[in-house]
């Protein structure tokens, strides 16, 4: 197939594009600038790369036509964040491509009522990102079922892997939270540390896109959660990380407002975004329908990312080595 991947050098695309090349597909990657994938792979030598500023071209009404012009059999959209952007793309692709695969987010659910959350659970999204992504999903699946561009939506959790900082046990992106646990220092967590995070390795997300692409009869017109098998509590996550450095976790807890006063406003906001949703989703549909089988647990995905951070000197472990996996 001829496959276009929009945002193909990002977290998931860095794994997905080589998978597609190895399956014999003709792959074109569209990125905003000359960014490189997160890890090298000889398969990238066979990829056509095109630069396009989606925001500017969406505003000009030209981006969809650009993508349609490739005449692709399938388009993978990793960087669509609003219903208007989704609408512009599908209107241009109607009749020009056979399958659109859209990267959503588990944040379309907002505050959960029952866990693990299924794809059909009532939606209560909040915040611009979650609300806009939920609206984009609703539009995309609606137009697909109405005979428009055949579309599949895949909803990853907290994407983790080597090359970037994963969501840490405090629910934010401060790498020194890992350092504090490695050094045996006291770490304060919000509330009782029982809110949940649901990580997924970027390659497992790539696996799901590959599966959905090759089984459109099963995937079109549907949404799927793509996460590891189980979510983590903040407290259990912190204890596991400390254990990787041969330490007990020195944890303390405080109500969110009190805890937030001790960290930066940016990190407090990120933590709130995560713990207010307390993500814990079911992957049963993806398993049953697509044959999705995550290779990494939440902790394995984080550990791989953490090993990269330590090796890159991004975390001060106080000289404490990360134990062998």
CB 80 within 8 Å of CB 5: no
Neighbour-count burial of 212, counting CB atoms closer than 10 A to its CB (0-12 exposed, 13-18 middle, 19+ buried) = buried
Half-sphere exposure of 123 (CA within 13 A, CB side): 18
pLDDT of 78 = 98
Q: Where are the domains of the chain?
A: 2-159+199-226, 162-197+230-279+297-311
| Nearest by Cα to 170 from 61, 288, 266 | 266
At 263, list the tokens.
Answer: 């960290």
pTM of the full predicted structure? 0.98
| Nearest by Cα to 63 from 31, 22, 28 | 31
According to DSSP, residue 190 is labeled E
pLDDT class of 35 with cuts at 50, 70, 90: confident
Q: What is the mean pLDDT of residues 16-34?
A: 96
According to DSSP, residue 281 is labeled B
What pLDDT, in 10s, does the model give residues 72-129? 999 999 999 999 999 999 999 999 999 999 999 999 999 999 999 999 999 999 999 9
For the chain, the average pLDDT equals: 97
User: Is pLDDT at 269 greater than 80 in this prediction?
Assistant: yes
Looking at 3.40.30, 2.60.40, 3.90.25, 1.10.10, the CATH number of the domain 162-197+230-279+297-311 comes to 3.90.25
231-172-31 Cα angle (round to 5)? 90
CB 38 within 8 Å of CB 201: no
Question: What is the Cα–Cα distance from 168 to 181, expressed in whole angstroms?
Answer: 11
What pLDDT, in 10s, does the model give residues 78-90? 999 999 999 999 9
Cross-strand pairs, 259: none
At 291, list the tokens.
Answer: 């044959």
Distance of CA 23 to the CA centre of its chain: 23
User: Is pLDDT at 43 greater than 90 in this prediction?
Assistant: yes
Phi and psi angles of residue 27, each rounded to the nearest 5 degrees, phi first? -115, 130
From residue 51, alpha-carbon distances to 7, 29, 48, 81, 201 in Å are 10, 8, 10, 19, 27
pLDDT of 34 = 84
Q: What is the mean pLDDT of residues 128-144?
A: 98
pLDDT class of 57 with cuts at 50, 70, 90: very high
pLDDT of 15 = 98
Percent of the chain with pLDDT strictly greater than 70:
100
Percent of the chain with pLDDT strictly greater than 90:
98
pLDDT of 304 = 97
| Nearest by Cα to 307 from 176, 185, 206, 161 | 161
| Nearest by Cα to 41 from 9, 23, 18, 22 | 18
User: Is pLDDT at 10 greater than 80 in this prediction?
Assistant: yes
Distance of CA 17 to the CA centre of its chain: 16
The structure tokens 């600038």 sit at 33
What pLDDT, in 10s, does the model give residues 140-178? 999 999 999 999 999 999 999 999 999 999 999 999 999
Question: What is the Cα–Cα distance from 89 to 78, expressed in whole angstroms?
Answer: 13
Question: What is the Cα–Cα distance from 176 to 6, expressed in whole angstroms?
Answer: 33
What pLDDT, in 10s, does the model give residues 186-238? 999 999 999 999 999 999 999 999 999 999 999 999 999 999 999 999 999 99
Checking DSSP bridges between strand 250-254 and strand 199-201, what pairing results, if any?
unpaired
Question: What is the Cα–Cα distance from 258 to 103, expressed in whole angstroms?
Answer: 36
At 171, list the tokens.
Answer: 């629910």
User: Is pLDDT at 325 greater than 80 in this prediction?
Assistant: no
- CATH architecture for the domain at 2-159+199-226: 3-Layer(aba) Sandwich (3.40)
């Amino acid at each position: 197939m001829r496959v276009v991947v929009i945002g193909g050098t990002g977290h998931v695309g860095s794994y997905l594009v080589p998978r597609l090349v190895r399956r014999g597909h003709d792959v074109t990657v569209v990125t905003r600038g000359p960014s490189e994938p997160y890890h090298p792979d000889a398969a990238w030598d066979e990829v056509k790369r095109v630069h396009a500023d989606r925001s500017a071209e969406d505003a000009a009404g030209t981006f969809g036509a650009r993508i349609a012009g490739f005449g692709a059999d399938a388009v993978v959209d990793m960087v669509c964040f609003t219903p208007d952007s989704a609408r512009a793309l599908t209107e241009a692709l109607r009749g020009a491509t056979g399958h659109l695969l859209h990267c959503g987010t588990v944040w379309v659910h907002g505050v959960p009522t029952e866990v693990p959350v299924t794809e059909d659970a009532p939606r209560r999204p909040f915040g611009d990102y979650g609300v806009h992504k939920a609206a984009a999903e609703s539009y995309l699946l609606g137009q697909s079922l109405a005979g428009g561009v055949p579309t599949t939506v895949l909803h990853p959790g907290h994407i983790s892997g080597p090359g970037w900082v994963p969501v840490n046990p405090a629910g934010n992106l401060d790498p020194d939270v890992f350092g504090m646990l490695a050094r045996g220092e006291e770490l304060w967590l919000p509330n009782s540390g029982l809110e949940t995070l649901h990580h997924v390795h970027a390659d497992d997300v790539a696996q799901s896109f590959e599966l959905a692409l090759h089984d459109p009869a099963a995937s079109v017109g549907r949404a799927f959660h793509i996460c590891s098998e189980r979510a983590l509590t903040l407290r259990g996550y912190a204890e596991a990380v400390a254990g990787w450095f041969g330490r007990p976790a020195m944890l303390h807890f405080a109500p969110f407002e009190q805890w937030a006063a001790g960290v930066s406003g940016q990190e407090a906001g990120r933590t709130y975004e995560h713990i207010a949703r307390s993500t814990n989703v079911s992957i049963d549909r993806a398993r049953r329908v697509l044959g999705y089988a995550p290779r990494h647990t939440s902790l394995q995905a984080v550990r791989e990312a953490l090993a990269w951070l330590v090796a890159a000197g991004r975390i001060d472990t106080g000289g404490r080595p990360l134990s062998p996996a």
